Amino acid sequence: MYVKINRNVCDHQLAICERCLGKFLQNPFGYERQCFEQIVDDGKENITIDLHTGDEDVHMELTLEEAKMMAGEGWAQFVDFAVPMFRDTTEEPHSTTE
């Protein structure tokens, strides 16, 4: 599965964002949020996530086990930059869900 997420379109704080992605990782076909710009069932067992937050772009390829771990820990633990807790501005969403 391929997912493109633009955190810049959502004004929720980081803890809400992490819980939202965690719910998606636990139930990918039953959960979609405003920041999800693209969801594609590419037939792969792994979950590929392209995440845009602030000025950062992160590409993650997760096994099902890694996705479960990220769902519980929160995605900010798995990136190599400080993720701001709050946002000052948001962008307009660009949904292209397939």
- Residue 92: its pLDDT value, please? 72
What pTM was computed for the model? Answer: 0.82
Tokens of 21: 């992605």
Q: Which domain holds residue 39?
A: 2-78
Q: How many domains does the chain have?
A: 1
pLDDT recorded at residue 31: 66
pLDDT at 43: 94
Is 84 within the bounds of a domain?
Answer: no
Give the pLDDT score at 69.
Answer: 94
In a domain, 35, yes or no: yes
What is the reported pLDDT for 10? 85
Does residue 87 form part of some domain? no
Read off the pLDDT of residues 48-68 as tens digits, 9 standing for 90 and up.
999 999 899 999 999 999 999
What is the C-alpha separation between 19 and 74, in angstroms, rounded? Answer: 7
Residue 63 lies in a domain: yes
Residues lower than pLDDT 50 in the chain: 97
